[in-house]
Amino acid sequence: MRASILLVAAFVAVAAALPMQSHPTCRPPKNEWANGELVLSPRPHEYLNVEDLPDSFTWGNVNGVNYLSERRNQHGPESYCGSCWDVATTNAVSDRIAILRKNAYPPVVLSAQVVLNCGYGGSCGGGSASGVYEALNKYGLPDETCQAYAGDIAQACKDVNICETCGSSGCTAISNFTMYYVSEYGTVRGADKMKAEIFARGPISCGIDATAALEAYTGGVFSEFSVLPIINHEISVVGWGTNGSTSYWIVRNSWGSFYGEDGFFRIKMGGDNLAIETDCSWGVPTLTKPSTAAPKVAAPVPVPAPAAKTPAELGLYHDLSRPGVRIDRTASRQMNIVSPQPFEFLSVGDLPASFDWSNVNNTNYLPSPRNQHIPQYCGSCWAHATTSALSARYFIANNAQGIPFNLSPQILINCVTANQTQGCNGGDPLAAYAWIAVNGIHDDTGTWYEAKNLPCTDYYKCHTCEPSGKCNAVPNCLNFGVAQFGEIVGEAAMKAEIFARGPVAVTIAVTTDLINYTGGVFHDTTGAIGDDHSVMLTGWGVDNSGTPYWTIVNSWGTYWGETGAARIVRGVNNLGIESQGAQWATPRL
């Protein structure tokens, strides 16, 4: 008894003298997925001269263009998850897909959850980056609209947990969706080789010792050479720079945008600070399937058989008994309009014949697409359309500088109650903007989309979880907002508003043919008009046969329609698109 007390006391004394290791399980020692390499072509350090590389370089700003994908928070939604190795790697490959696709719409965010569901290299108890790269080569990964981040709520590796949509009676596997692959992957160590790899091919993922001091970091160039580093965390290194006297790495963490410098930290380069130059890895994305790739799981058994059922017949995408839009048109709905609206000062005849925020002067201003129906059915289109449009308008207001983000629809589902709005049972887009104008909103790194009605508490507005298992509210998180907001109708006013200020939310009817839509200019012939659904309206054009159309971005995943978007015939009030109301809001800057 006495001996064991002494032992405990000795252990406590030693532990207190050592730096605290607070992420003990996020990057455990190597496992069976570790150290895999598939190197098929010369590596950048073999053909680049490191002396020729610039003093500063970051994929967050290459000649004024950002290629970095959205920040993530691994620590939620309901508990701690040691998935740093997974999130750092899927983020780095998502960046490289943006580089490969020259930032074309839509931005791709690879699904970190599929990695967890399938155990590609580890679990919430930790894992290795090379497992993710190996799986990206052998099996591929879909984007997040197939499988949302659920952290600890990992599921079995089967089709429905790789790509799904959910209806009122459960979730169904999607059989036709895009998989992303890497053609080769490997490891890199040492500052010079890391620089060559990053410069030539894009961000890399690296192991690091996440010390208590790094956890407490709030900005500046970090350095900590006083500890014997033990790699227990993984991050992505996206570039480097110098402040005049000190060179540093630019690092994206996976602890939310509220960590450090907007989710990033800078750490002194050279000398293997916290072991950041010891254990890095890279993958080269490809848009064609490698010849060795095979499905992880057997081809899906059509549910229910046979496969002839259409999405509409399967009750997918939209449940007409659960409207996504609830607008009390007899009530006076709040707006805040203090300056002239674009339709008052722009002449519609002066606007271009085609215009779309997915490509204005070769720049995409739209955030990554969403899926309101995963991990379960939720009639939250009103929250998705409004937050997507506002996110785009922030990017427009920032002149496409900085890292794009998606404002959190979940906060609105939890909190907006005005005028019949009922979370997953539908809501009023204008009431969403009215709520944001008063309360503010945050990106989705503190409030993950969970597709259910949660309480409107500080905790559910913004939280994060610790290795101890404890989850805490993040204070002062709602730092984005709305200045003016209103509603317009009619083609001319909608065009002027979109052209001058950015995408809007718009209310449309949903028909079975819209549910089945796979591409082309949609033209409803049933005469449907109604408050069924809310989508983001991003622009307009005219097709080869001279048919004018609107472009909308839906929140039904990228496997629906034209990569998540659709064209709808314009000028004839199809689905009520020009008469049911388009809601707009300007960002509070």
CB of residue 399 to ligand NAG, shortest distance in Å: 7
Nearest to 175 by CA among 292, 290, 298, 285: 298
Q: How far is the CB of 167 from ligand NAG (least distance, A)?
A: 13
Measured distance CA(125)–CA(583) in Å, rounded: 44
Question: In this chain, which of 218, 361, 468, 545 binds ligand NAG, going by CB under 6 A?
Answer: 361
Distance CA 59, CA 69 (A): 10
Question: Within 10 Å of residue 245's Cβ, how many Cβ atoms?
Answer: 6
Query: 85 vs 394, which CB is nearer to ligand NAG?
Result: 394
Q: Where are the alpha helices (DSSP H) in 160-240?
A: 191-201, 212-215
Query: What's the DSSP call for residue 119?
Result: T
Q: Is 37 in the site for ligand NAG (CB under 6 A)?
A: no
Nearer to ligand NAG, 31 or 178 (CB): 178
Query: Closest approach of Cβ 482 to ligand NAG, in Å?
Result: 12
CA atoms within 13 A on the CB side of 281: 28
The single residue of 91, 253, 414, 419 carrying the catalytic annotation is: 253
Using H for helix, E for strand and C for coil, what is the string for 452-497? Answer: CCCCCCHHHHCEEECCCCCEEECCCCCCECEEEEEEECCHHHHHHH
Minimum CB distance to ligand NAG smaller for 331 or for 483: 331
Shortest Cβ 35–ligand NAG spacing (Å):
33
Closest CA to 407 of 422, 380, 385, 377: 385
Instruction: Give the nearest distance from C-beta 489 to ligand NAG in angstroms.
Output: 17
- Please tell me the distance from the alpha carbon of residue 131 to that of residue 361, in angstroms, as a whole number: 39
Which 3 state secondary structure label does DSSP give 7? helix
Output 376 or 516, the one with its CB closest to ligand NAG: 516
Six-digit token pair at 471?
């989850």
Q: How many CB atoms lie within 10 A of CB 580?
A: 23
Residue carrying the six token digits 């064209």: 567
Minimum distance from residue 46 beta carbon to ligand NAG (Å)? 32
| Distinct helix (H) and strand (E) counts, the chain | 14, 22
Compute the C-alpha angle 238/106/577, nearest 5°. 145
Binding mask 240-279 for ligand NAG (x = CB under 6 A): ---xxxx---------------------------------
Displacement of CA 421 from its chain's centroid (Å): 25
d(C-alpha 575, C-alpha 555), whole Å? 17
Nearest distance, CB of residue 580 and ligand NAG, angstroms: 16
Determine which residue in the list 431, 478, 506, 568 makes contact with ligand NAG, applying CB under 6 A.
431
Is-contact 196 173, C-beta < 8 A? no
Rounded to whole angstroms, how far apart are CA atoms 192 and 280?
Answer: 12
> Is residue 313 close enough to count as binding ligand NAG by CB under 6 A?
yes
253 has catalytic annotation: yes
Q: Which is closer to ligand NAG, CB of 254 or CB of 364?
A: 364
* Segment interacting with ligand NAG (CB under 6 A) among 57-65, 126-134, 509-517, 570-578: 509-517
Which one of the spans 7-15, 161-169, 328-336, 385-393 is the region binding ligand NAG (CB under 6 A)?
Answer: 328-336
Kindly state the DSSP code that residue 84 receives in the 8-state scheme.
H
- Span from 249-257, 306-314, 367-375, 469-477 in contact with ligand NAG (CB under 6 A): 306-314
Q: Which of 418, 473, 492, 500 binds ligand NAG (CB under 6 A)?
A: 418
Q: Using CB under 6 A, which residues numbered 164 to 183 contact ligand NAG?
A: 176
Of residues 208 through 227, those in contact with ligand NAG by CB under 6 A are 220-221
Decide: 387 and 406 in contact? Cβ < 8 Å. Answer: yes
- Of 79 and 516, the one with the shorter C-beta distance to ligand NAG is 516
Contact 267, 276 (CB under 8 A): yes
Which of 233, 318, 442, 533 is the catalytic position? 233
> Out of 334, 336, 359, 398, which residue is the one contacting ligand NAG (CB under 6 A)?
334
Binding range to ligand NAG, per CB under 6 A, among 239-247, 346-354, 383-391, 455-463: 239-247
* CB 12 to ligand NAG: min, Å: 33
Binding mask 376-395 for ligand NAG (x = CB under 6 A): --------------------
CA distance 118 to 348: 52
Question: Of the candidates 312, 385, 478, 488, which one interacts with ligand NAG according to CB under 6 A?
Answer: 312
Q: Which is nearer to ligand NAG, 25 or 371 (CB)?
A: 371
What one-character DSSP code corresponds to residue 329? T
Secondary element (H or E) of residue 522: strand 521-522
Phi, psi of 210 (to 5 degrees): -85, 90
Phi-psi region of 552 (alpha: psi -120 to 50; beta: other; left: phi over 0): beta
Give me the catalytic one of 45, 75, 81, 84. Answer: 84
Instruction: Write out the two tokens for 574.
Output: 């199809």
The answer for residues whose C-beta is within 8 angstroms of residue 507's C-beta and 6 or more apart is 325, 327, 429, 531, 533, 534, 576, 577, 580, 581, 582, 583
Count of residues interacting with ligand NAG (CB under 6 A): 24
Q: What are 575's two structure tokens?
A: 């689905």
* Binding segment (CB under 6 A) for ligand NAG, from list 146-154, 237-245, 316-324, 455-463: 237-245
Kindly tell me which of 368 and 421 has the beta carbon lying closer to ligand NAG.
421
Footprint on residues 69-108 left by ligand NAG (CB under 6 A):
none
Choose among 32, 89, 557: nearest CA to 316. Answer: 557
331 binds ligand NAG (CB under 6 A): yes
Query: 62 or 331: whose CB is closer to ligand NAG?
Result: 331
Which of residues 422, 516, 547, 573 is near ligand NAG by CB under 6 A? Answer: 516
Residue 568 Cβ vs ligand NAG, minimum distance, rounded to whole Å: 16
CA nearest 263: which of 405, 467, 441, 130? 405
Residue numbers 469-498 binding ligand NAG by CB under 6 A: none
Residues that bind ligand NAG (CB under 6 A): 176, 220-221, 243-246, 310, 312-313, 331-334, 360-361, 418-419, 430-431, 434, 512-513, 516
Q: Which sequence positions are flagged as catalytic?
A: 84, 233, 253
